Amino acid sequence: MKFLNSGKVKDIYEIDGDTILFKFSDRVSAYDVKFKQDIPQKGEVLCKFAEFWFEKLSVPNHFVRRESDNEIVVKKMKMLPIECVVRGYFYGSLVSRWKNGKVVVPDGTDTTLAAKLPHPIFDPSTKSEHDISIDKVKALEMNLVTDEQYNWLEKNSIEIYKKMAEIADGVGFILADLKLEFGILNGKITLGDSIGPDEYRLWLKDNYKIGKMQEAYDKQLLRDWLTVNGYQKQFDDARNVGQEPIAPEIPKEIISKMTERYIIAYEKLAGKTL
Residues 136 and 201 in one domain: yes
Number of domains in the chain: 2
* For range 233-255, the mean pLDDT: 95
Residues 120 and 61 in one domain: no
Residues 218 and 89 in one domain: yes
pTM comes to 0.94
* pLDDT above 90: residue 170: yes
Residues 89 and 167 in one domain: yes
3-class SS at 163?
Answer: helix
Residues 155 and 47 in one domain: no
Residues 46 and 142 in one domain: no
Kindly report the CA angle at 196 between 82 and 84, in degrees rounded to 5? Answer: 20
Residues 205 and 69 in one domain: no
Kindly report the CA angle at 37 between 34 and 42, in degrees rounded to 5? Answer: 90
Query: pLDDT for 114-165, tens place per residue?
Result: 999 999 999 999 987 678 899 999 999 999 999 999 999 999 999 999 999 9
- The one-letter code for the residue type at 229 is N
* pLDDT above 90: residue 98: yes
Long-range contacts from 10-13, C-beta under 8 angstroms, 24+ separation: 10/194
Residue 265: per-residue pLDDT:
97
Residues 114 and 222 in one domain: yes
Its domain, for residue 205, covers 78-231
* For range 244-272, the mean pLDDT: 96
DSSP bridge partners of 72: 22, 66
Residue 44 forms part of a structural domain? yes
What is the Rg, in whole angstroms, of the alpha carbon atoms belonging to the chain? 18
Domain with 168 in it: what CATH number?
3.30.470.20
Contact partners, residue 37, CB within 8 Å, separation at least 6: 28, 249, 250, 255
Residue 253 forms part of a structural domain? no
Query: pLDDT for 51-68, tens place per residue?
Result: 999 999 999 999 999 999
Contact partners, residue 102, CB within 8 Å, separation at least 6: 133
Residue 105 forms part of a structural domain? yes
Residues 36 and 112 in one domain: no
Nearest to 117 by CA among 95, 84, 139, 150: 95
